[in-house]
Structure 1
């Protein structure tokens, strides 16, 4: 396997920059997910690495080679696409063997590689079947196997699970993760589903508008989003963001809403707010860090329940607070009715604060 380095990568279409100065390193044997909404530049970045489209400027390094001007076949990569791209008239065995036959490998070596790939992906019993006789998950496994037999330096995967139903996606997530662990493969994986990235990747690159917003482990991106976009994109349900205004009252820093309620901040959070470029501050909180009360308690703020979504082991409440929707999770034993008056208490240790102008996370020091 090999490492991949992107240096100041740019791709333009006329005046539009689809990829804008993206720099990152994928270490040897690392699983990196490129995530973001449609049009963020993640698939374009993958296609640049693959050589399917030419770069405008910057460098792509695979292993020890700058591959900017190499054809896809010379980059030592293998791609797994959203559509399985299997030959319908060929058996699974012949689908797996085809890329090796194109390289004119000896027949016994092809047979060995095909059977080893089938063993690794637990599909030896499928080798004589045609694609139409396979389930979606099995077809995707064949597509993985066809990439595996080539023994590439890097695997590139473009939303390979998006055509599967929810249950199969969960199963295939586990299989791809095990595939990575067993082979110690270098994988760059594109998805719009941040849950796939969080559950599978060693590191995730969050993109928006062609820019790389944050590149870190899923745990760090979830716990310490660098800006409001990352905070609202990573997590399910998304982090709630409440626009407020900072001021000082009786020597304490408080956040004030348009409706008039005030939230006094801890000394550490007051330090964060002091670093803002404006009085406008956005409070961010995950659903699990907000306590719901049926009556006012010290430190709580008034809200109104909007919708109630029981899911079995937890109930999600969407509440109106300061003109925005806030997500709160409660045990199923707590009954809340739509339009009911409630009070929300934010955990000062786990709340996030963002600059209302720059939208960047505020840090104490």
Structure 2
């Protein structure tokens, strides 16, 4: 296997910049997910690594080689596509064997590699079937197997689970994670589903508008988002965000909402709030850090319940605060009703503050 390095990678189509100054390193044996909404540039970035489209500027290194100007066949990569791209008239064995036949390998070598790959993916019993006789999950394993037999330096996967139903996606997430673990494979994986990225990847590259927003472990991206976009994209439900003013209340730094409520800040959060460039900020909090109360008290923020979503082991409640919808998770035993007046308590150790103008996370100077 090998690592991958992107240096100031750009791709433009006339005046449209699909990928802008993207730089990151994928270590040997690492699983990196490119994640973001549709049109953010993640698939374009993957295609640039594969060599399917040319760079406008920048450099791509795979292993010890600069591959920027090499054809896809010379980059030692294997791709797994969204639609599997299996040959319908070929058996599973021949689908797996095809890339080796194109390399003119011996019949014995092909037989050995195909059966080894089939054993790894538990599809040996499917080798004589054709794709139309397979389930979606089985077809996905065959697509993985066809990539595996090539023994590439890097696996590139473009939304390989998006055509599967919800239950099968969960199963195949485990399969691909195990595939990575067993082979110590270098994988660059594109998905629009941040849950896939969080549960599978060693690192995630969050993209938006062609720019790389944050590159870190899923745990750090979740706990320390660098801006409001990352905060609102990563997490299920996403982090709740409320625009506020930074004010002084009786000598104490506080946040003031559009509805007139105030939230006094701890000394540490007060120092963060002082870094606001315009006196405006965005207050952020995860659903699990918020407490719901039925009585007002100092430091609690008033709101009204908008909807209630029981999910079995947890109930998600949406509360409207200053026209913003705030997500809170409750024990299922707590009964609440739409339009009920409530008050929210924020955990000062786990709230987030962002600059109201730049949207970047505020930090202690």
Distance, in Å, in 1 between the alignment partners of 2:273 and 2:65 is 46
Please name the residue that 1:39 is paired with.
39
Shift of 1:332: 0.6
Q: Does 1:73 align with 2:69?
A: no
SS at match of 2:119: helix
Q: What residue is the counterpart of 2:334 in the other structure?
A: 334
Question: In the alignment, what sits opposite 2:197?
Answer: 197
Which residue number in structure 1 is paired with residue 224 of structure 2? Answer: 224
- Deviation, 1:298, is 3.3
Q: Alignment partner of 2:260: what SS?
A: coil
Q: Secondary structure at the match of 1:119?
A: helix
Partner of 1:207: 207
In 1: Cα distance, 2:257 partner to 2:43 partner: 40
How far residue 297 of structure 1 moved from its aligned partner, in angstroms, is 3.0
In structure 2, the partner of 1:161 is: 161
Question: What whole-Å deviation, never above 9, does each CA across 1:138-161 have from its counterpart, x for those lacking one?
Answer: 000000000000000000000000
Partner Cα separation in structure 1 for residue 90 and residue 140 of structure 2: 15
TM-score w.r.t. the length of structure 2 is 0.99
Q: Work out the CA distance in 2 between the residues paired with 1:327 and 1:218.
A: 21
Between 32-41 and 246-255, the greater mean CA deviation after superposition:
246-255
* Alpha-carbon distance, 1:235 to partner: 0.3
Does residue 306 in structure 1 map to residue 290 in structure 2? no
Counterpart residue number, 1:99: 99
Quote the residue 1:356 is aligned against.
356
User: What is the Cα deviation at residue 37 of structure 1?
Assistant: 0.4
- For the pair 1:57 / 2:20, whether they are aligned, the reply is no
Distance (Å, rounded) in 2 between the aligned partners of 1:249 and 1:319: 25
Partner of 1:266: 266
1:276 shift after superposition: 1.1
> Considering only aligned residues, what root-mean-square deviation do their CA atoms show, in Å?
0.6
- Provide the secondary structure at the position in 1 that maps to 2:204: strand
SS in 1 for 2:84: coil
Secondary structure, counterpart of 1:9 in structure 2: strand
What is the aligned residue count? 365
Pair 1:188-2:184 in alignment: no
Match of 1:295 in 2: 295
Question: Is there any run of 5+ residues in structure 1 with no aligned partner, and where?
Answer: none
3-state DSSP class of the match of 2:93?
Answer: helix
Give the structure 2 partner of residue 152 of structure 1.
Answer: 152
Gaps of 5+ in 2: none
Following superposition, the deviation at residue 322 of structure 1 comes to 1.3
Equivalent in the alignment of 1:141: 141
SS for the counterpart of 2:182 is: helix
Divergent runs of 4+, >2 A: none
Q: CA deviation at 1:257?
A: 1.1
Secondary structure in structure 1 of the residue aligned to 2:259: coil
